[in-house]
Amino acid sequence: MPPTGAPDSPDPDTNQVRQVIIADDDLTTLKILERTLDKAGFHPIPVTSGRGVVEQLSSDICAVILDIQMPEMNGLECLSYISREYPDLAPIMLTASNAVSDAVYAMKQGAFDYIVKPFHAQQISALVEHAARSFEQTVRLRQTEESLRQARQNEIYVASRVQQTLLLGQPPADFPGLEIAHLTIPSQEIDGDFYDFIRLDSENMDLVVADVMGKGIRAAFIGAALKSYFFRVVSEVNLSGAGRFKIDPEEIVDSVYNYMISPLTALESFVTLFYARFCPKQNRLTYVDCGHVHPLHYHYRSKQVSLLKGENMPLGFPEKDPFRQFTTTFAAEDIFLFYSDGLTETSNQEGELFGEERLIACVENHARANPEALIEAIKTEIFAFSGASEFADDFTCVAVKVDAAPVPKELLGRQELVVDSRVGELHRIRRFVRMFSKKYMRRSSDAPRISGIELAAVELTTNIIRHAYGNQAGRPIRVEAIAYPLEMSFSFYDRGAAFDPDFVPAPVLDGSREGGMGVYIIEKSVDEIVYSRSLEGENCGRLVIRWDR
Amino acid sequence: MPVKLKVNTYMDVAVVELREKALDASNSENFKKSMAETLANFQKVIIDLSRVEFIDSSGCGALLSCLRQLGDRKGWLRLCGVQKNVLRLFELVRMNRIIDIFPTKEDAVKNF
């Protein structure tokens, strides 16, 4: 039953007078509606056109009665405007008895109900009461949803702060022998993924990567606790020991297990983890694997990828075998990639997973890059594959690349030549460079490269004669050739005008220009060209050629 | 340094054999001068580089100069006998896309 109490009886929940727009161009009907709703305790706002409705609409309006036949925007047009702009508000339609099909159409468009003229006053007030209640409920529901969403957002924010600040560590900036890069892409929800680096001494660095089951604050806190136990165990040993680091990875994991097993059981959670110790000096990696995704080991020499596998169960599983560590060796320029399953379990629009094979291919394709670039390439590929900008799971990824072996700098040979600044000397330069290169090249298959060196030497000398010395003869050009086992260099010294390679315009290679190609040819013919000028005003252009191993 | 050239003619085609081991900054200006007469008298010119072991950017520039002078007079330039090292440079500076290169003199003369 509609409330029939005092005029302007407020909404029992909000204590506000409920406003209802009534729209009809027939003034008699409008008057009746106004009186009826006023009596029923609403605050009616009469208008005579659709335009009038639009002008009066606001979020305070809890119901609308629309006559279908109206000037200036009829009832149906007005209805579609309301559905678009005020989706919570469902108007009641008024229609003449011969226009029921319009009313049916209106219902499909989101009207609350319709009334056929002529109507009873009671019928109207009951229907408006009903519509107003429905509107208020919808609004409340929406508000509740919004505050829930905000609470969830807040939790994600807290958890992601925990993760970013507490869980994800920074690699040591300059650990000798290793280059490290890392990446985390947070998802809509927070995982308990974490990684951190422990620099034990100048020769040993530990890396722990782990993934706590579950999401949100709980996972983030378990991760934080676990991480603190790793640091605690390591520092306890360091403090008690004679300053020298002794504890093995398997002992570390065992100690952490003993600290963590009861909280993990109580919280019904578990953790997969991989604990690795890098010792670049001995080219050795020692690790314990507790059910984590298997890190990749790219072998630079064989161009093959192998997986690092251990045999322990995740922490928090009922079974517990003694923790067992494994040892593997690595070589110069090998790459290790540690990652969370969020990476390989990223799916594309067809539901296909990114998978280990794609990841391996990506590592193989970018194996010559530095770890930073490798991780960037993986990220690019994952985004391209998934076509998404957000992921259901976090993914974390750590790439460790073993430094290249230092080039042995044992001097094989050194020779010098001084020529005069005349183009007539070019043949001497060529012969000198050719003889020296032939003598110290690594293998006969390197021979084709010698013509490139000759070419670069001639171009460089010509530039010195023309530009540094301005075609002035009688000035010295000194060439110093040095050979190392894997590298050869030719340094050209002159005392002419300074040269800045940054101001050389790009070559025009369409046949329209006869010059301007020299610097470009030099760059393309040797592995490196370095220009420098000493304080005494001596210019040096150094051509470097590196032989494949 | 003077440049040694030998010019043979086949009908209206001039075949210039460059009898130098190198075409570089030391002789490219003289090469251009030595070519002037041939370029003025013939529309179809072939330069035979089979004896040339080394060319630098100045050499390339000199060849492009010949091409342009002929082009101004609606003539054509062809190269032949380009050695592997020299060809590598032509590819580097994209000369191979600008001047027609033939394996032998006979190939170049054919259908000129």
Q: Extract the tokens encoding A94.
A: 């008024």
For A524, the closest chain B residue by CA position comes to B92
pLDDT band per the 50, 70, 90 thresholds, residue B66:
very high
User: What CA–CA distance (Å, rounded) separates A428 from A432?
Assistant: 6
CB contact under 8 A, A459 and B65: no
Query: Which residues on chain A are in Cβ contact (under 8 Å) with B79?
Result: none
Min mean pLDDT across A74-78, A408-412, A463-467 is at A408-412
Mean pLDDT calculated for residue range B21-44: 94
pLDDT band per the 50, 70, 90 thresholds, residue A13:
low
Residue A254 vs residues A225, A291, A333, A444, B32: alpha-carbon distances, Å:
15, 15, 32, 57, 83
Q: CB count, 10 Å around CB of A125?
A: 23
- pLDDT (tens digit per residue) in A214-225: 777 788 888 888
- pLDDT (tens digit per residue) in A114-173: 888 888 888 888 999 999 999 989 888 888 888 888 887 777 777 777 777 777 778 887
Give the minimum alpha-carbon distance from A428 to chain B in angstroms, rounded to a whole number: 11
User: Are A248 and A204 contacting, i.e. CB atoms less than 8 angstroms apart?
Assistant: no
- Domains delineated in chain B: 5-109 (3.30.750.24)
A168-402, CATH topology level:
Phosphatase 2c; domain 1 (3.60.40)
B13-43 burial: b if 16+ Cβ within 10 Å, else e: bbbbbbebebbbbbbbbebbebbeebbeebe
pLDDT band per the 50, 70, 90 thresholds, residue A2:
very low
- The amino acid sitting at A492 is F
For A466, the closest chain B residue by CA position comes to B25
Which residue among A424, A455, A515 sits closest to B89, beta carbon to beta carbon? A455
Residue contacts between A and B (CB atoms, under 8 Å): 74
Residue A489 vs residues A458, A480, A485: alpha-carbon distances, Å:
15, 8, 11
Q: Extract the tokens encoding A466.
A: 């023309």
Phi, psi (rounded to 5 degrees) for A54: -60, -40
Residue A298 vs residues A355, A356, A401: alpha-carbon distances, Å:
17, 13, 9
User: Are A259 and A229 contacting, i.e. CB atoms less than 8 angstroms apart?
Assistant: yes
What is the SS3 assignment for A165? helix
What is the model's pLDDT at position A509? 77
CB contact under 8 A, B25 and A452: no
What is the SS3 assignment for A134? helix
Give the residue extent of every domain in chain A.
Answer: 19-141, 168-402, 413-546
Give the minimum alpha-carbon distance from A447 to chain B in angstroms, rounded to a whole number: 11
A447-463 vs B84-92: helix crossing angle, rounded to 10: 60
What is the model's pLDDT at position A254? 92
Query: Which residues on chain A are in Cβ contact (under 8 Å) with B93?
Result: 507, 509, 517, 520-521
What is the model's pLDDT at position A17? 83
* Sign of the alpha-carbon torsion through A286, A292, A298, A302: positive
- Whether the predicted pLDDT of B43 surpasses 70: yes
> Which among B52, B54, B57 is the top mutation candidate for probing chain A, defined by the most A β-carbons within 10 Å of its own β-carbon?
B57
User: What CA–CA distance (Å, rounded) separates A391 from A72?
Assistant: 49
Measured CA angle at A29 (ends A126, A42), to 5 deg = 40
**Which CATH code fits A19-141?**
3.40.50.2300
For A465, the closest chain B residue by CA position comes to B25
> Which ipTM score applies to this complex?
0.91
State which of A343-357, A534-548, B70-84 shows the largest mean pLDDT: B70-84
Which residue among B1, B25, B64 sits closest to A514, beta carbon to beta carbon? B64
A413-546, CATH topology level:
Heat Shock Protein 90 (3.30.565)
Helix (H) or strand (E) holding A539: strand A539-546
Average pLDDT, chain B: 93
CB contact under 8 A, A462 and B65: no
Q: Let me know if B106 is exposed, middle or buried by CB neighbors in 10 A (0-12, 13-18, 19+).
A: exposed
What is the model's pLDDT at position A12? 54
B57-72 vs A447-463: helix crossing angle, rounded to 10: 80
CB contact under 8 A, A430 and B22: yes
pTM for this predicted structure: 0.47
User: Are A70 and A24 contacting, i.e. CB atoms less than 8 angstroms apart?
Assistant: yes
- Would you state the torsion angle of the CA atoms of residues A221, A227, A230, A234, taken in this order, to the nearest 10 degrees? -130
> Mapped to the 3 state alphabet, what secondary structure does A418-463 carry?
EEECCHHHHHHHHHHHHHHHHHHCCCHHHHHHHHHHHHHHHHHHHH
Of A202 and A426, the one with more pLDDT = A426
> Which among A458, A463, A471 is the top mutation candidate for probing chain B, defined by the most B β-carbons within 10 Å of its own β-carbon?
A458
CB contact under 8 A, B54 and A458: yes
